[in-house]
Structure 1
Amino acid sequence: MLSCIYDVIELRAMNALTNRVQTYLQALGLPTSDVRQWQGQKKLPYYLQDAFDFGEIEVAGRDIVLALDKRGIVAPAREIRNRLDAVEAVAQRRAVYVASALASYQRQRLIKQRVPFIVPGNQVYLPEIGVVLDERTRARQVVATDPITIAPAAQAMLIRLLLDPMRLKEWQAVQVGIDLGYTPMTVTRAVRELVGAGLLDAHMTGRFQYVALKGLHAEVWRRAKPLLRTPIHRMEWMLSTPQANNRVRLAGLSALAEHTLLAEPRMPIYAMTRADWKQLQPPKNERVPAGSDDAYVIQVWNYSPTLQGEGKTVDPLSLILSLGEHHDERVQAAINELKEQLPW
């Protein structure tokens, strides 16, 4: 009986917090759906189910999972980052930390860890959809917006189609998703994003959805570029090389050197997914501070670095995105050389 009473109290508290989230975001002028209970929470480890209640919401056209802190005791920022990584590995979309209150220093530490969060009525930090609002600008209701980008799953799907060696006119969407390891729901969202961005056309034939590039490859890539972002989620440094397998690829300047005349960096750079990094779990004495000269660099990616199938390196399009606007003239020349090798 007491258990049922506590469950009812907890559900009411969750509903109150989710309602505050929705009201707050709408008050900022953001297109926001109703908050729904996220069914995927049943697939999570118990420690995550104990720490959070979960909802799902669409904000500015992006589907996100809300991780609502139900303990009231805010964990360290890095621990919250690791918990959200675990949620995102299951959800295959961005997870956002929600708390009813945060101290100023706690918010700053979350921002330093790039942890997206919402404190209803106080602060919202959603950099990937271009929304950052803090208590200093709250009175003026200022929302700082960056160019809208597409989600990592949609970006991976588009790059996979652009680099398909078969050069098909259209693809069965669900099969592309299977090749990428995405659920049908994730594929549906990715297609919706890419169609909405004017990069793909989609149609149903029987029970299956088919997609096609909306234009020539070079033209689609040119239009897509402003919507795409670096695949790098974060960087790690290790004293030993990661164990070789088909999911770990040369990345960064190491990959660029493989395809151009650029000299190889002294220490190799590798890319792997967040799931593979978690599985690797190098001992603490193998991990070193950022920027160490005698360490292997690990780029932890938001999507698979193996979009092009077999090979030693990451795909050329993701490589270009990961290098950004490099200021070294030799590197920039090598990037231009790589662009000339693109298959269109």
Structure 2
Amino acid sequence: MVLDHFAADRLERLALTAEAYVAQVFGMNLRLHDLAGEGLPYFLTDRYHFWRGDLQGRPAVFMVNRAGPLDTFDIAKHRELARRHLGVALVVLVLERVDARVRRRLIEHRIAFLAPGAQIYVPEALLDLREGAPAKIAPQPDYLSPTAQSVVLGAMLGRFVDQQSLTDLAERFQVSVMSMSRALDELVAIGVAEALWAGRRRRLRFAVNGRDLWNTIEPRLKSPVRKLRLVRGQIPLDQAPLAGETALAHYTMLSPPRVERRAVLASRWTGMTQALELEPAWTDEADRIELETWSYDPLVLAEDGVVDRLSLYLSIRREPDERVAQAAAQMLEDMAW
């Protein structure tokens, strides 16, 4: 048994202080109640005191370390164990003493905490409030970021996204680990995924999958197409896969269009133009190619030189041509979720 540095009255004062701080400064009611620790491993209840509470209308668990200093890695591991055993998405560390260095390390490791008198930081709820700063809660985004969208599409396409570490996902989707971490926070905030810790690595796990995930997330998805350009030249499929009606004709019985359409990541457009010596084309030139520039890399989810079905659907779902709209709807209906 570890040495308990917290007497019962001290724990009660800390809970009252935390509730009062959050209510007075940020206008939120935590509603903290002692948690007996049922279902938790003994070493956790021996080392931490737990409260059940409420955070922005979502159930949350608050935990305070009562056994002396711990390193950030241990805290992250213990917090994840509590999350799994208690079945809650939000587990928040309560800090009795305000130490800027400790808070900085917790933020670097994206560990939720409440420091009465200073700050409440819960990345899973897009919450980072500090006393003295405007008390604004980051709203859930109307649309997902390009990185979050490509990841969620990859999950629905069965591209082995679930249970992968952020480092592996960042490498696969060709983005920074920081961008992937923010994408995970977005997916957690809207309730379709959760963040897990495996050793020192943060992993993604989806709470819903397949068609259910699509029905939940579709209103937050948008067309990846930023701009349409007309060019002349030769473009290999491994640099710009088929897109638009050309790709739709590949997946359905729709006749292919006269002008081929391709897709490329927007940030690669200039470099590809120079490397392949592409030239601008006019709308009446028969040998022109229509080239879409995308907000995320179409190559990541493409198969056999064709953009993926879901990104394709999002790029043409507002198409006024009834032929195209019907073919797109049929393509989605025929998907094996």
TM-score for both structures, normalised by structure 1: 0.53
Structure 2 counterpart of 1:112: none
Counterparts in 2 of 1:155 and 1:200: CA distance versus 1, 3 Å? same
Matched, 1:336 2:323: no
Q: Deviations over 1:48-68 (max 9, x none)?
A: xxxxxxxxxxxxx79xxxxxx
Give the Å deviation of 1:263. Answer: 0.6
- How far does the alpha carbon of each residue in 1:6-52 deviate from its partner, in whole angstroms, 9 at most, with x for none? xxxxxxxxxxxxxxxxxxxxxxxxxxxxxxxxxxxxxxxxxxxxxxx
Runs of 4+ in 1 over 4 A off after TM superposition: 282-285
Q: Does the 8 Å contact 2:231/2:279 carry over to 1?
A: yes
1:280 Cα deviation (Å)? 1.8
CA–CA separation in structure 2 for the residues paired with 1:226 and 1:307:
22
- 1:296 alignment partner in structure 2: 289
In structure 1, what is the Cα distance between the partners aligned to 2:224 and 2:187? 17
SS in 2 for 1:209: strand
SS in structure 2 of the partner of residue 303 of structure 1: coil
Find the aligned partners of 1:169 and 1:281 in 2 and give their Cα distance.
35
Q: Give the structure 1 partner of residue 179 of structure 2.
A: 186
Aligned position for 2:142: 148
| TM-score normalised over the length of structure 2 | 0.54
User: Tell me, what secondary structure is at the counterpart of 1:237?
Assistant: strand
Q: Which residue of 1 aligns with 2:265?
A: 273
Q: Which residue of 1 aligns with 2:230?
A: 237
1:308 deviation in Å? Answer: 2.7
Asked if the contact 1:231/1:302 (under 8 Å) is kept, the reply is: yes
Residue 161 of structure 1 pairs with residue 155 of structure 2: yes
SS in 2 for 1:249: coil
Q: Is structure 2 residue 193 aligned with structure 1 residue 200?
A: yes
Matches within 5 A, 1:258-269: 258-269=250-261
Q: Is the 8 A contact 2:155 2:209 kept in 1?
A: no
* Superposed displacement of residue 309, structure 1: 5.0
**Alpha-carbon distance between aligned partners in 2 of 1:328 and 1:310, rounded to the nearest angstrom:** 26
Q: Identity of aligned pairs, percent?
A: 25
Give the equivalent residue in structure 1 for 2:238. Answer: 246
Change (3 A) 1:285 1:208: closer
Q: RMSD over aligned Cα, in angstroms?
A: 3.0
> Match for 1:300: what amino acid?
T
Deviations 1:238-278 (A, max 9, x none): 12232x04231000000000010001010100001123211
Residues 246 and 310 of structure 1 are in contact (CA less than 8 Å); yes or no, is this contact kept in structure 2? no
Unaligned 5+ residue runs, structure 2?
Answer: 1-125, 128-137
Point out where structure 1 has 5 or more consecutive residues left out of the alignment: 1-60, 63-128, 131-146
1:298 partner SS: strand
Matches of 1:186 and 1:149, distance apart in 2:
16
8 A Cα contact 1:320 1:335, kept in partner: yes
Letter in 1 for 2:142: I
Seen in structure 2, the aligned counterparts of structure 1 residues 256 and 170 have a Cα distance that, compared at 3 Å, is same
Give the CA deviation at 1:336. 1.7
Q: How does 1:109-124 map to 2 (within 5 A)?
A: none
1:210 equivalenced with 2:203 (yes/no): yes
Larger Rg: 2
Deviation for aligned residue 1:343:
2.3
Assess, with a 3 A threshold, how the Cα gap between structure 1 residues 184 and 198 changes in structure 2: closer, same or farther.
Answer: same
Alignment of 1:1-344 (within 5 A): 148-166=142-160, 170-242=163-235, 244-281=236-273, 286-289=279-282, 291-292=283-284, 294=286, 295-308=288-301, 310-344=303-337
| Alpha-carbon distance in structure 2 between the residues aligned to 1:285 and 1:162 | 35
Q: CA deviation at 1:316?
A: 0.6
Amino acid at match of 1:164: G
Please tell me whether the aligned partners of residues 317 and 325 of structure 2 are also in contact (alpha carbons under 8 angstroms).
no
Instruction: Give the total of aligned pairs.
Output: 202
State the one-letter code of the partner of 1:259: Y
Per-residue deviation, 1:170: 2.4
Letter in 2 for 1:253: E
Instruction: Specify the code of the residue in structure 2 equivalent to 1:265.
Output: P
Q: Partners of 1:152 and 1:165 in 2: how far apart?
A: 17
Q: Distance in 2 between matches of 1:292 and 1:158?
A: 38
Q: For residues 306 and 257 of structure 1, what CA distance do their matches in structure 2 show?
A: 19
The question of whether the paired residues in 2 share the 8 Å contact of 1:156 and 1:303 is answered with yes
For 2:254, the aligned partner's letter is L
